[in-house]
């Protein structure tokens, strides 16, 4: 296996080492009265981005039913029509929504809802099966795990899904889900500014893929945002909910900008862009990682796919980054 591909945990599915995060192409939607999307989108541009990524070797596409309250799945389905045999598709369930008002309405992890949500996603995507079906409620009660696993195993038996996982930052929850025979992955936050050794240890112990959300720190690691940047209010980063650690009050958090400056030269060495270096760090961090940077344009697809060509950072570079970030260890642990 080359550096351009990874195996998706126990599923045996072969995926590109860099994926395509499809949150942004869903367009605007609301959660608890605040923006949860990334602003307005051009569907033609989104379709072009998906197809360009695929042409450049990206085969793993991650979305969720709630992104744009179904819109991301529909756009992704349109873009991939006729090419399903070339890709591995991941989507998510568990958050309820009203598509008419583009608003999140709550959570539901009951077996009946899991089945209904799966069939609805299949219809929007326009395909007959989902490769990786992920629980989107990061703090769902652990006592519901057995019930959810049973429901997901039924979907596997029926051929509607091939594998499943949990989108959570809690290593204990990830480990609990891993007892399911067809559990193959955990999706969690991970990037060069925020390491998660405990979760990677769970992935090693249980042979799970580490699907990395936020691999570019919500865009901070692209280098596009500086101390004076201000994100618009229709962008989820502009209103900066509490979990948005990399942006505060719509601006890049100064402590993370300082960390970025400390390692910028290493990340951009060997002809890499800043984003390619950040993705290269993830590829070097573990053989189980599959970063899913958000992509909205064909140009972004080309930039991120370039990380496949450059491959992982060298061990010496990883050690150098580790040393340079040591003064910021207190920030990282928060």
Nearest CA-CA partner of 166 in 202, 196, 137, 124: 137
- Rounded CA-CA distance 332/196 in Å is 10
Tokens 């900066």 correspond to what residue?
240
54 contact partners, CB below 8 Å, separation of at least 6: 80, 83, 86, 87
Which position among 67, 133, 164, 225 bears the catalytic label?
Answer: 67
Write the DSSP symbol of residue 288: T
Q: Is the separation of the CB atoms in 125 and 166 below 8 Å?
A: no
Q: Is the separation of the CB atoms in 219 and 180 below 8 Å?
A: no
Active site residue 133: no
SS3 53: helix
SS3 290: strand
Catalytic residues: 67
């Amino acid at each position: 296996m080359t550096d351009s591909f990874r195996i998706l945990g126990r599923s045996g599915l072969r995926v590109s080492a860099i994926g395509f995060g499809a949150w942004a192409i869903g367009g605007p939607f609301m959660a608890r009265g605040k923006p949860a999307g990334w602003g307005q989108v051009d569907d033609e541009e989104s379709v072009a981005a998906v197809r360009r990524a695929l042409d450049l070797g990206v085969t793993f596409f991650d979305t969720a039913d709630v992104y744009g309250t179904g819109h991301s799945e529909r756009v992704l389905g349109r873009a991939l029509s006729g090419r399903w045999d070339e890709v591995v598709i991941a989507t998510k369930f568990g958050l309820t929504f009203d598509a008419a008002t583009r608003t999140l309405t709550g959570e539901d992890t009951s077996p009946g809802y899991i089945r209904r949500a799966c069939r609805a996603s299949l219809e929007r995507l326009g395909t007959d099966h989902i490769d990786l079906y992920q629980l989107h409620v990061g703090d769902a009660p652990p006592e519901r795990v057995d019930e959810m696993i049973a429901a997901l195993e039924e979907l596997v038996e029926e051929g509607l899904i091939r594998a499943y996982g949990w989108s959570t930052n809690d290593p204990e929850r990830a480990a609990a889900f891993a007892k399911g025979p067809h559990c193959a992955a955990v999706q969690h936050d991970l990037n060069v500014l925020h390491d998660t050794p405990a979760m990677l240890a769970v992935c090693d112990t249980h042979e799970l893929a580490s699907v990395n959300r936020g691999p570019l720190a919500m865009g901070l690691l692209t280098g596009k945002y500086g101390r004076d940047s201000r994100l618009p209010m229709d962008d989820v980063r502009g209103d900066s909910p509490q979990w948005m650690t990399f942006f505060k009050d719509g601006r890049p958090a100064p402590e993370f900008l300082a960390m970025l400056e400390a390692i910028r030269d290493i990340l951009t060495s060997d002809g890499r862009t800043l984003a390619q270096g950040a993705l290269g760090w993830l590829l070097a961090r573990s053989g189980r990682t599959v970063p899913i940077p958000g992509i909205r344009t064909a140009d972004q697809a080309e930039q991120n796919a370039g990380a496949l060509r450059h491959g992982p950072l060298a061990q010496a570079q990883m050690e150098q980054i580790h040393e340079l970030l040591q003064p910021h260890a207190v920030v990282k642990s928060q």
